[in-house]
Amino acid sequence: MRVTEKGQVTIPKDLRDALGIGAGTEVEFERAGDAIVVRKARRGPTRGEQLVERLLGRGDVRMSTDEIMAVGRMAPDAQNPAAPHPGENAGSTSHR
């Protein structure tokens, strides 16, 4: 196998398949004497996990999940009082 001018090599398919290495998989390189070891990068936290970790415990509003859900259900009506309530037909002409 040859190394390209850009220092690239192709990992044989059977090795990629055996180790679950696909396009976009992060890998690490390590020097071991006169050999190079390539391994899948150790998985760190995802961006979402990092965000949750940063925000955890920072909320300053004491609301239960049910209260938060109720606010979410009320939001469309508060923004558009003409919006039909659940169970009403969109074409209904009844007034509240």
pLDDT for the residue 8: 93
More confident residue, 43 or 95: 43
How do the residues of the chain divide into helix, strand and coil, expressed in percent and rounded to 5? Answer: 30, 10, 55
Per-residue pLDDT reduced to its tens digit, 15-68: 999 988 999 888 999 999 999 999 988 877 788 888 888 888 887 878 888 888
Token digits of residue 85? 């309530």
The reported pLDDT for the residue numbered 87 is 62
The pLDDT assigned to 82 comes to 62
CA angle 92, 75, 73 (to 5 degrees): 80
Report the pLDDT value the prediction gives residue 31, as an integer from 0 to 100.
Answer: 95
pTM above 0.75, yes or no: no
Nearest residue to 36 via CA among 16, 62, 9: 9
**What was the pLDDT predicted at 34?**
97
